[in-house]
Structure 1
């Protein structure tokens, strides 16, 4: 509190560029060290960001200047890197999911509690003006008591654009664990925690073909289900329908709709920070676009780190580990339900994170 949060970033893959863009415009977070399995890639990031050093992972973890480790590794090693950071006395903020399995995620939270360090986790898109304006509309009673929601993500798969898409089709990947965190985090933010789930899933292909980059044309195996549908029952009684697909080509359905007794909301893509929120109230002549009323304006990936930096010690950040754990349990339980044909109760819970007041960024000081 009161000084920049010094970040050591582990992993310089495709997603890192979006975090780096946030670092350049937010003085509350500062990149001081970077490591990657490819040292040249880490050095390129350090060269482009004055004040950051390219180092090995061990040196980064031991660096007393690093307050929080930003874990941008692949999902299979999220827990391993997080536990190493915690053992070094560092807070950790990770890309989603919190870990590849719920058991690993439980170990991460237990270790952090024992060490007295903070855990944060993407997605932080829920902190932007899109989801937060919808959240305020619900809190203000514009749709009455929430009754249901529908969430839809349809794409033919990431191998068409990602040069190394293997992990999307291995355990810890798939459409639900890859894209589901955005949608389930948004649903929990809007409607509260989930108490039970049902689900079904399928796999249309056992192989995929990389469509771009140096490996274009290479065939990779598919070891996870690539189309998942689920029903989520929230603690307050609302029921959400969730469809996550790497098998569909396109959809015209809204990414997210929330329905209440007196109105409905079209909520923008949970994979974005902004977008229009549309309201249709009972008896109205049509949809109206709500004015932006909450959330971080012009936010990008890393907003959760900035929120963590402003969170009092001992308090849970909005994009916190407990929310990420609950979201992971929901998703893992959907896959269990799909495999067994039964309803699965959710053991964990997570409070709806506090509403983000409408917050306009201050110009960065050069």
Structure 2
């Protein structure tokens, strides 16, 4: 009975949406930043614009209906409830594919690629999609004990695919999804035939620093910038997730300010997050943190597994798509040391950290190309 997979329908009580509106109305705002850019964090004017739309123009029921129409399910694995979308392709011979989101993302990142992957017009390779919410994220359960790091999550995804009747499948991920998917590859989780990453993790060797190539210089510069200016959120979440969690769970404005900044910093844009993502896309994703109150539980993954963002040797087939505005780019030279069977490397001309979200058509093409090599 514990292995039962049951349909899950989102039906957020209106009282919960009314509470959100009340909290926005009662928000206490800080003064404006003393700079004319995003260098001190989310600017007051930009956040008030987003929050104003959240309060008066945004329609959660549209997003709720879309998720329900796609097909949502829950199952209990190792005592924890896992919520996931399962979208079967209408085409015979579709390849089963599990895709994992990261922070501060959710399954919302994949909304623009579902149709292209499951039901391609040109009869190209199609996929059966499994899109789980990470433990402590979205409407999955929140771990009540330690131990739910990326290695365990990778094994859990293997059990999920097995329960769905898939004995041979492939996996994809970026951000935490990259760490989970890498863990699947390292552990050779039963059934996995290969993986695709849009944020592979690699590190330089001392000799790389003596005469670095342009790609290595870019990667080293990005790593230094991340450490100096962009990693405050991760330091807080990997050391004191509970402390930051109180504000993220209690205040919609605080949660939005914390996450919205990454939509600016991590997308390929011309100065505004809205160059890459719409207000509705950003707020659909934000609701996946606000409604289930996952500000603390999602942050705990950093406490559990931040050390897992490290190079690991993988013998399974690996494919990589490298997007130019990735926050921590890895040159192919570094990746090849660990990926013993690198079957595809795609250098993309635009796009940032949220690959599927920002560049859905290019993402779909890359996955078709990559996984065709793993059939």
TM-score by length of 2: 0.30
More helix by proportion, 1 or 2? 2
TM-score by length of 1: 0.31
